[in-house]
Amino acid sequence: MSHGHGHGHAAGEGAAPESIAAGYELADTRARPLVIGTISVFVLLVVTAILMGVLLLLAGNAPTDLSNTLNPTEVARQLPPEPRLEQNPNVDGDRLLREATEQLESYGWVNERENLAHIPIERAMELLVERGIAPFGTGPAQGSGQ
């Protein structure tokens, strides 16, 4: 059994003596298969484009059934369901922060019929220090208004 040079060549083939003497492969790849392949791809693209043009001409240019198209004025009026993306996140974020700060720093009713109010957080902390906190389960229920 003959052994090649480890290049995957069949028996009897191998590197040319000139390539061995030079220390690298002197022969380039064969250009003919590459040129034929490249030309074939371009011919296929051109034939496909021509075929698509012929099919479009045969089918007609204008669609006849317009029942599934949207009227541009209807599209402008129609809004997606909530939650929608914020139009201006900075303005919306500033507004939310301002409203939350206002709630934390002011007096107001949560539910006036049940006499349930909110107080500024600083005052709530002072009352908590003065009165302490009842052990869990011994005080009135959360939100009872007492």
Greatest Cα-to-Cα distance within the chain, rounded to the nearest angstrom: 105
CA dist., res. 129 & res. 123, Å (int): 10
Q: How many CA atoms lie within 13 A of 20 on its CB side?
A: 6
Sorted by where each begins, the domain ranges of the chain are 30-59, 91-134
CA distances from 1 to 4, 6, 13 (A): 10, 14, 14
In this predicted structure, what is the pLDDT of residue 13?
75
Does the pTM surpass 0.95? The reply is no
CA dist., res. 39 & res. 33, Å (int): 10
pLDDT tens string for the chain (146 positions)?
444 444 544 445 778 888 888 888 878 788 899 999 999 999 999 999 999 988 888 877 666 666 677 776 666 677 778 877 777 778 888 888 999 999 889 999 889 899 899 899 999 899 889 888 877 767 655 554 44
Phi, psi values for residue 110, rounded to 5°: -90, -45
Render 44-99 in DSSP notation, one character per residue: HHHHHHHHHHHHHHHH-SS-S--TTPPPHHHHHH--PPSSPPPS-HHHHHHHHHHH
CA dist., res. 85 & res. 127, Å (int): 41
In this predicted structure, what is the pLDDT of residue 91?
81
Q: Which three-class secondary structure state does DSSP give residue 108? A: strand
In this predicted structure, what is the pLDDT of residue 140?
58
In this predicted structure, what is the pLDDT of residue 146?
45
In this predicted structure, what is the pLDDT of residue 61?
63
**Bridge partner list, 118:** 108
In this predicted structure, what is the pLDDT of residue 37?
96
